[in-house]
Amino acid sequence: MWVTLVHGGAVARVDVDGEVTVHPVGPDSRPSVIATGPDGALWFTLSGDDRIGRVTVAGDISAFELPDDTGPFGITAGGDGALWFTAMTSGEIGRITVDGDISRWPVGGMPSMIAKGPDNALWFTLNKANAIGRMDADGSITTRQLPTPAAGPVGIVATHDDAVWFTEILADKLGRIPVDGALQEMELPGKPHAVVADPDDGVWVSLWGSDQIARVTNDGEIVTVDLPAGSEPHGLAIGSDGAPWVALESGFVVRLPV
């Protein structure tokens, strides 16, 4: 599993036995979100110094400069062989090829996380606009307002049930948009931040404030898992064996049993 160390200016590789290999990427660089690229490398956003980083599995690091005050945060591989990212400060959606060619589109509203949807479009949360955005590869954009005011959408992911799920951190809710259906919301026992698809059914969600992660099925059943006090769970990912991993603000990475 690869993780970002936002306060340490590094990315790290953690194997299943707990061995950690740290790769520095620069002081004050604030590496934020990391994703597997179409070239087999790991790509990550550097929100502190406005760059997109790339690290190979062998640990070779390179980076691509963005304009000042871009604030890249979320990143995902698209269906077109490129990486797509959000720019929170400048209010843009960006695209970067594996060769480093960069394009940007203004969307406003503080775009936060981004994911490739089941329809191959790019879906993203607009934190300040209280909306979910959708962008085709040709740059056409549509948005959907959330029914709950000031919900603060952050995390977003596509699942195998042809839906997009997202978190509403200020409303303590989880949202779901079927590609051909109506937007749904459900209450959660904490402030949901990151969300990742479960390989079998539904999603896993990290819950700020309550030191928990939650598993939510497609039918809406919620099961919570307690973490140590003060954990402040952030990023989530699913390992190659189907086990969920969660990064904690307290400085740990936790792997749950399958």
Give the catalytic positions in this structure.
234
**Whole-angstrom distance, CA of residue 240 vs CA of residue 228:** 25
**Whole-angstrom distance, CA of residue 69 vs CA of residue 48:** 9
Beta-bridged to residue 196, according to DSSP, are 204
**Whole-angstrom distance, CA of residue 144 vs CA of residue 11:** 34
Q: Give the phi and the psi of residue 151 in degrees, each rounded to 5.
A: -80, -20
Beta-carbon count within 10 A of 181 CB: 10
Output the six-digit token pair for 70: 């871009």
The DSSP code for 56 is -
